[in-house]
Amino acid sequence: MPWIPICIIAIMVSMALFAPLLAPYSPIDQTLRDKLIPPFWVDGGGIDHVLGTDAFGRDMLSRLIYGARVSLIVAALALTAGGGVGLLIGIVSGYFGGAVDNALMRLVDAAFTFPAILFALLLAVTMGQGLGTLVLAISLLLWASFARVIRGEVLSLKQRDFVALAKVRGCSSARIMLTHILPNVLNTFMVLVTLNIGVVIIAEASLSFLGAGIPPPTPTWGLMVSDGRGRIAEAWWVSLIPGIAITLLVLSVNVFGDWLRDRLDPRLRQL
């Protein structure tokens, strides 16, 4: 079992869940006079602000903790929406085949040809920046790849005996999909979800950089990295600390996901 990644993930989830209890300050409270204080182990820092402050005097540790919450909420919502839709379409498309499959897969192709980040940008400038827009944009990024992989799984499952048996017994399509197909693709689905958590978090960071993420003053790790990027030389902690947090989380999630896939079915090539 990959213990280190699991621990890291657990820590970050706790940060997200217990943010109000753990954070020493409010993440959006500005004190301009206290701006850019370094972390306590650097000259000029102190235990008042353990990880220092940003350009508006906001406490980095508190923003980091609350940022975990936002990042994980975005991931959960986007994966439920995008993953859920992808799962549904994948099952329906793979099971029915024929014209339905064709039409849906062309839609998937269209989604792949359309630049994902561009779509997110367009949404952001049309609907305004915000949590809803971001979740929508990232869901649109995810659903197509989920759909494609799940469909592949369903295609091979379709040929199996127990499905033929169910058909012979007169089960309706919906019932077969729900009770026979769905449980058998759940493994794949779980692996996909785990591996895509990282994609969501990185996408949020890139969109914040392009000005299409969740707007300030809400702390998100991506926005914190983006905001601090002009000060790498003299105030490195503003950008580096959330950046390392992102890297650690995504690494952990991916290592865990790889291990999961290996345990469940190493033949999942499309992943």
Partner 1 sequence: MGQRRVYKIWAVAAALAVLLWQPAAAQTQKGTLVFAVESLSAQTLDPILEGRPGNAIYQAAMYDSLVGFDVDKGGIGPGVAEWWELSDDGLLWTFHLRKGLKFHNGDPVTAHDAKFSLERQMSEPSLASAKATLRRIVKSIEAVDDLTLRIEMASPQIGLPSSLSRAVATEGAIMPKAYIEKVGEEEFRKKPIGSGPWKFVRSVPGDRIEFEAVDYPHFRGTPHFKELHILLVPEESTRVSMVRTGEAAIASIGPESLQSAARGGLQVLSVPGTMQAVFQFWGAYRPEFKDSPIAKPRVRQALSLAIDRKQIIEHVMNGKASMPYPFAAFGYTEYFNAPKWKKWSEEAYRYDPAAAKQMLAEAGYPNGFELNFLNTALPGTQFMTDVGTAVADMWNKAGIKVNIKNYEWGSFAPLSRGDQPQLAGNASMYRTVGRPDMPWRYDGGFAVTSEHHLLGDKVNCDATCQEFGKIYNDLLAERDPAKRTELTDRMVELVANTWIAVPILEGMGYYAVNAGKAGQFAAIPGRHELGDVFERIPRPDEKPWKK
Partner 2 sequence: MKRYIVYRLLQGVVLLCLVATIVFFLGRLTGNPVDLMLPEDATPADRMAMIKALGLDGSLFQQFTIFVGNALHGDLGTSIRMRQPAVEAFFSRLPNTLAIIPWALLLAMCVGIPLGVIAALNRGNMIDRAAGTVAVLGIAMPSFWLGILLIYVFSVELGWLPSGRMGGPEHYVLPVITLGAFLVAGFMRLVRSSMLEVMESEFVKLARIKGLSESVVIWKHCLRNALVPVLTLWGVFVGNLITGAIVTETVFAWPGIGRLTYEAVIFRDFPLLQAVIILKAILILSINLVVDILYAYVDPRIRLA
- Asked if 34 is part of the footprint of partner 2 (rule: CB under 8 A), the reply reads no
- How is residue 211 written in tokens? 């000005």
Residues that bind partner 1 (rule: CB under 8 A) add up to a total of 25
DSSP 221-239: HHHHHHHGGGGTTT-HHHH
Q: Please state, in angstroms and as integers, the Cα–Cα distance from residue 79 to each residue in 145, 165, 190, 193, 201, following that order.
A: 12, 33, 11, 7, 11
Closer CB to partner 2, residue 108 or residue 150?
108
On the question of a cis peptide bond just before residue 217, with omega within 30 degrees of 0, the verdict is yes
Q: How far apart are the first and last CA of the chain?
A: 20
Stretch that binds partner 2, among 32-40, 56-64, 87-95, 248-256 (CB under 8 A): 248-256
Three-state SS for 21?
Answer: helix
Closer CB to partner 2, residue 68 or residue 225?
225
The burial of 56, by beta-carbon neighbours within 10 Å (0-12 exposed, 13-18 middle, 19 or more buried), is given as middle
Closer CB to partner 2, residue 118 or residue 164?
118
Stretch that binds partner 2, among 36-44, 45-53, 156-164, 263-271 (CB under 8 A): 263-271
**Residue 55 binding target from partner 2, partner 1, none, CB below 5 to 8 Å by type:** partner 1
**Residue 231 binding target from partner 2, partner 1, none, CB below 5 to 8 Å by type:** partner 1
**Residue 243 binding target from partner 2, partner 1, none, CB below 5 to 8 Å by type:** partner 2
- Asked if 33 is part of the footprint of partner 2 (rule: CB under 8 A), the reply reads no
- How is residue 252 written in tokens? 């952990």
DSSP 84-143: HHHHHHHHHHHHH-HHHHHHHHHHHHHHHHS-HHHHHHHHHHHH-SSHHHHHHHHHHHHH
- Three-state secondary structure of 127-164: HCCCHHHHHHHHHHHHHHHHHHHHHHHHHHHHCCHHHH
Pairwise CA distance, residues 40 & 29, whole Å = 20
- Residue span 129-158 as binding mask against partner 1, x where in contact by CB under 8 A, dash where not: x-----------------------------
**Residue 251 binding target from partner 1, partner 2, none, CB below 5 to 8 Å by type:** partner 2
Stretch that binds partner 1, among 81-89, 107-115, 124-132, 262-270 (CB under 8 A): 124-132
- Residue span 180-209 as binding mask against partner 2, x where in contact by CB under 8 A, dash where not: ------------------xx--x--xx--x
- Enumerate residues 188-227 that contact partner 1 by CB under 8 A: 211, 215-217
Closest-CA residue to 237 (of 95, 41, 51): 51
Pairwise CA distance, residues 136 & 123, whole Å = 8
Type of residue found at 62: S
Binding positions for partner 2, rule: CB under 8 A: 2, 106, 109-110, 112-118, 121-122, 125-126, 198-199, 202, 205-206, 209-210, 222, 225-226, 229, 232-233, 239, 243, 246-248, 250-251, 254-255, 258-259, 262, 266-269, 271
Binding positions for partner 1, rule: CB under 8 A: 28-30, 32-33, 35, 55-57, 124-126, 128-129, 211, 215-217, 229-235
